[in-house]
Amino acid sequence: MTSNDSSENLRNRLAEKMAGDITLSEKPGESLKKWRLNFEISQTDIANYLKVSPSVISDYESGRRKSPGTLIVRKIVESLLEIDIERGGKKIHAYESILNAENSSKSIYSTYEYTIPIQLAKLVNLIEGDIVYKGAEKPLYGFSVIDSQRAILELSSHEFQKLYGWSTDRAMIFTKVSTGKSPMVAIRVTNLKPGVVVLHGLREEEVEPVVVKMAEVDRIPLVATTMDLDQIVQLLKKYSQYYAKE
Domain ranges of the chain: 2-99, 103-243
Is 2-99 CATH 1.20.120? no
For 9-96, strand residue ranges (E) read none
2-99 matches 103-243 in fold? no
The answer for residues whose C-beta is within 8 angstroms of residue 57's C-beta and 6 or more apart is 36, 43, 46, 47, 76
Name the least confident of 28-32, 61-65, 88-92, 164-168.
164-168
Query: How large a percentage of the chain has pLDDT more than 70?
Result: 84
Q: 136: how many CB neighbours lie within 10 A of its CB? A: 12
Name the phi and psi angles at 156, rounded to 5.
Answer: -75, 170
- In whole angstroms, what is the distance from residue 203 CA to residue 94 CA? 32
Confidence of residue 85 (pLDDT cuts 50, 70, 90): very high
pLDDT digits (tens, 9 = 90+) for 125-168: 999 999 999 998 888 988 989 888 777 666 665 566 666 666 67
In this predicted model, which residue has the larger pLDDT, 47 or 162?
A: 47
What average pLDDT score do residues 171-191 get?
Answer: 84
Mean pLDDT for the chain overall: 84
Is the four-CA dihedral 148, 236, 224, 128 of positive or negative sign?
Answer: negative
Name the phi and psi angles at 118, rounded to 5.
Answer: -105, 140
Q: Using CA atoms of 241, 116, 132, 137 in order, give the dihedral in degrees to the nearest 10.
A: -160
pLDDT of residue 10: 81
Residue 173, SS3 per DSSP: strand
Q: What is the CATH number of domain 103-243?
A: 3.40.1390.20
Whether residue 4 has pLDDT greater than 60 = yes
User: What pTM did the predictor assign?
Assistant: 0.62
pLDDT of residue 206: 92
